Structure formats: C-alpha cells, structure tokens
Amino acid sequence: MPDITIAQLEDWKKNKKKIAAITAYDFSFARLFFNQGIPVILVGDSLGMTIQGHSSTIPVKIKDIEYHTKSVRKGAPNTFLVSDLPFMSYFDTITTLKNTAKVMRSGANMVKLEGGKWLIPIIKELSSRSILVCGHIGLTPQSVNYLSGYKIQGKNDNEANKLIDEALLLEEAGIKMLVVECIPEKLAKKITENLSIPVIGIGAGKYTDGQILVMQDLLGITEGEKPTFVKNFLAESNSIQEAVQKYINEVKQGIYPHMKHCF
C-alpha cells in the first residue's frame, strides 16, 4: 500500500469516498490493520482505558503516546497515523510544541487535540510550522469530569450552533481533519457539509466523511456496557481479518453506522 497522505484524504472527501479509521496501540494489530487496507490509524489516549485499565483517559502521559506511536508505526509503515496529545500536554504553546515534536518523531503524521475556541492560538502555531492538526469536538473524553460523564453533546439548538461555530473556527485556524464524537446525526451532517476538510465520526451517524472505532469495540472485547454506536464486527465474521474487512466495506458502502447506531 502506498503512503496515505492528507491530500489523498481531502480528495476522498471531495469524491465522497468514505474513510474507515480505527485505533491501534501495538505492532501486531497495526500490521493486521495495515494488511487489511485500513488507511487511517489513531493512537488514541483511549489506551488509558483499553490497555492500562484506567476508568478514563486522563492518566495517560505523553511518554505513553510516544511508546505506542513507535510500535504502531513499525506495524503500519504507510498508514496515515494520527496520535492523540493526552490530557494537559497542550495547555500552552511551548508545552504543545515540545510534546508534538516527541510524538511526530515517534512516527505520527498528525496530532489530535480535544477542544474548541481556546485551542485556536495553539492550532495556528502548529500549522505555521507545517504540523498537521486534527480537532476533536462533541464528546471530548479528556473533559469527562466537566461533562459529568460520557454523554451526547449538541442536543439542543444552542449547543448545536456552538459546535458548528467551533468547527468552522478550528478549520479557519488550520486543522486539516476533525473528529466529531457522540453528537446527533443531523448535526454531524451539517458540520460535515460546512467544512472542506475530512470529518470523521464516532457515534455521529452516517453522513460524516468517515468513521472511527476503538479496536476493542469493533472486535467485541470491551468489558461493560457498550455505547449505542458500537457494532461487534467479529460476531459476524470468522476471523479478525474478516471483521476488519467487513468494517471497511460497511463504512465505504454506507451500511455502518445503521440507524440503530445513531443519535
């Protein structure tokens, strides 16, 4: 597989070709996903819950992201690799630049930050240095305490309009991709149509430019209550490889997410 670039992902948006993305944290799964043709992998701070066993993403440190980014890059050399900047690793410009350098040197193509308007100066600073930035709005797991749990965002008109405004401001500041999480399908559709950059959804309906799932959710090995938007693709497959292919195909064909997976 040739290198996946941001220009290619932007072209896919223009041509309405859906993007199937997944999280990964180690060499073996990254290689498996790479071999199945996954174009975008996220080294998410979700590793705090899926790998480290914490109840949230907040305990994750920059050194954790560095370590897992290196492992995933070895397994997926040509995949477009996005890495999260974890909680409080981007609270000011200097800190952000230092931590971004660590993650980029570990193999990331792009860094992902959670938040809205307050991020604009930081995004502009990163963009001015030719660093690709992915925004993340809606349900932002690093703000779980402020949000009082993992809840749907943008349910009323005021919240929805705020998210639309923030998406536009973040694009203007320089982000090249946006993740929208746990928002109503109609709101995600409006954001996607208003932005020229790829919009990737998780629990945001079928009208985004692509989908992303935590690998443990996709494979049905997450403990406890499952979010509404999660589908266990392994339950309908004979192997992990087949499950990943099914996920890619259903995203491309607009089968997943189904209405039952949407808010």
Which is the catalytic residue, given 66, 166, 181, 185? 181
- Half-sphere exposure of residue 193: CA atoms within 13 angstroms, side-chain side: 8
Indicate if 181 belongs to the active site: yes
Looking at residue 226, its pLDDT comes to 77
For the four alpha carbons of 13, 90, 98 and 51, in that order, the dihedral sign comes to negative
Q: Percentage of the chain surpassing pLDDT 70?
A: 100
SS3 of 23, please?
Answer: strand
Compute the distance between CA of residue 144 and CA of residue 78 in angstroms, rounded to an integer: 33
Residue 146 scores a pLDDT above 90: no
Long-range residue pairs from 31-36, CB within 8 A, at least 24 positions apart, any chain: 31/75, 31/76, 32/75, 32/240, 32/241, 32/244, 33/75, 33/76, 33/79, 33/215, 33/244, 34/1, 34/75, 34/76, 34/77, 34/78, 34/79, 35/241, 36/241, 36/244, 36/245, 36/248
CB 241 within 8 A of CB 33: no
Mean pLDDT to the nearest integer, 153-180:
97
Q: Please report where in the chains the tokens 């600073």 appear, as a residue.
A: 125
Binding-site entries for 3-methyl-2-oxobutanoate:
45-46, 84, 112
Binding-site entries for Mg(2+):
45, 84, 114
pTM score above 0.85: yes
Q: Which two tokens stand for residue 225?
A: 């209550």
The dihedral region occupied by 165, where left means phi > 0, alpha psi between -120 and 50, and beta the remainder, is alpha
Dump pLDDT digits (tens) for 82-119.
999 999 999 999 999 999 999 999 999 999 999 999 99
**CATH code for residues 6-261:** 3.20.20.60
Residue 28 scores a pLDDT above 80: yes
- Amino acid 128 reads S
Residue 212 scores a pLDDT above 90: yes
Residue 263 scores a pLDDT above 90: no
Q: Which two tokens stand for residue 88?
A: 């409080």
Least confident of 145-149, 151-155, 191-195, 217-221: 145-149
- Amino acid 233 reads F
Residue 258 scores a pLDDT above 90: no
Mean pLDDT to the nearest integer, 239-257:
97
Strand partners, 23: 42
